Amino acid sequence: MQQEPKRDFKYMPAAFNRCVAGGGRVRTIKPKAGVYIHICYPKGGGSPVRGEVKHNKRIWKKKK
């Protein structure tokens, strides 16, 4: 039985995961404050593949 390879981007679209597994370069783009998108550029060239839009986590500090 084969084990599935460990992926850092487990909730990304299948095309994005194939791009990363094929050696593509992943860049992070921030279109606006509080939001970022991972984009994979394939190793041999071709059109970039976008991942999911993600939101930054807010850290709340307790007031004294």
pLDDT tens digits for range 11-63: 788 899 999 999 999 999 999 888 999 999 999 889 999 998 888 877 666 66
The model carries a pTM of 0.69
Look at residue 9 and tell me if it is in a domain.
no
Residue 8 placed within a domain = no
User: 53, 54, 48, 52: which is closest to 22 by C-alpha?
Assistant: 48
Residue 51 placed within a domain: yes
- Give me the number of domains the chain comprises: 1
Residue 40 lies in a domain: yes
In a domain, 61, yes or no: no
Residue 28 domain flag: yes
Backbone angles phi, psi at 14, to 5 degrees: -60, -40
Task: Write down the residue that tokens 């094929």 correspond to.
Answer: 22
Instruction: Specify if 5 maps to a domain.
Output: no
Q: Which domain holds residue 44?
A: 14-55
